[in-house]
Chains A and B, each alone.
Chain A
């Protein structure tokens, strides 16, 4: 099965900083990658799909890129409401595996 590895596992940044999270697939998955945001004590929410497409309502400071095995989630200007754990997920085929998560905190 394809494994999904995120880095870093956690990060601390200041408000306004640019933040980048990486997700690597152990085999190519084309652009079949989603990102989810889970705020503390809340339900996971779809943030990005098809590696780079934002659903309606997601702030434009979030962006995604990548294809094949290497993907990134970028927050262009970190806001206090972005404190959350972010997960990538492959959806090319079963199993629909998640990365282990990246916890983002404010410094």
Chain B
């Protein structure tokens, strides 16, 4: 079974750093991009960026570029989303999602991880 398992909920203070993880299993991890998606409380889905685990190449949404860093450790089939300095506005649920491919072309997201709730509060 293809699965993405994310790290647990985090409570942090403004200014602190954080790295959350997403571990893939049941498939060849380096063959599919991993995306990160933000969902703020009561709001919709926002694509943040993606990484190609085979070469660590990344794309970021302009809204998130410079605010977060996406990385990967392919030796342990794990992707990461990292902040250097959290703000209260980073409070949200964060999902990772595998980027399905058709004839080597990236298409829809499936499956999704279970989500990691990040709460930033003083």
Binding site for B on A (CB under 8 A): 32, 34, 36, 38, 43-46, 49-50, 55, 85, 87, 89, 91, 94-101
B53 proximity list for chain A (CB < 8 A): none
B59 at interface (Cβ–Cβ under 8 A)? yes
Q: Tell me whether A96 and B45 are in contact (CB under 8 A).
A: no
A46 touches B109 (CB 8 A): yes
Smallest CB separation, B33 vs chain A (Å): 10
A36 to chain B, nearest CB (A): 8
Residues of A within 8 A of B37 (CB): 44
B99 closest partner in A (C-beta): A96
A36 to B108, CA, bound (A): 10
B46/A43 in contact, CB under 8 A: no
Residues of B within 8 A of A (CB): 35, 37, 44-47, 50, 59, 61-62, 95, 97, 100, 106-115
Q: How far is the CB of A56 from chain B (nearest CB, A)?
A: 11
Bound: A101/B47 CA distance, A: 14
Q: Which residues of A contact B45 (CB under 8 A)?
A: 36, 38, 44, 87, 89, 98, 101
Which of B37, B45, B61, B62 is the most central at the interface, judged by chain A CB atoms within 10 Å of its CB? B45
Quick check: B108 and A91 within 8 Å, CB to CB?
A: yes
Q: CA–CA, A85 to B45, complex, Å?
A: 11
Q: Are B44 and A87 in contact (CB under 8 A)?
A: yes
Contact B44 A45, beta carbon cutoff 8 Å: no
Top-3 shortest CB links A-B: A34-B108, A46-B110, A101-B44
Question: Of all chain A residues, which has the CB nearest B47?
Answer: A96
Q: Name the residue in B37, B50, B95, B108 with the highest tally of chain A Cβ atoms < 10 Å from its Cβ.
A: B108
For the complex, what is the distance from the CA of A93 to the CA of B81, rounded to whole Å? 22
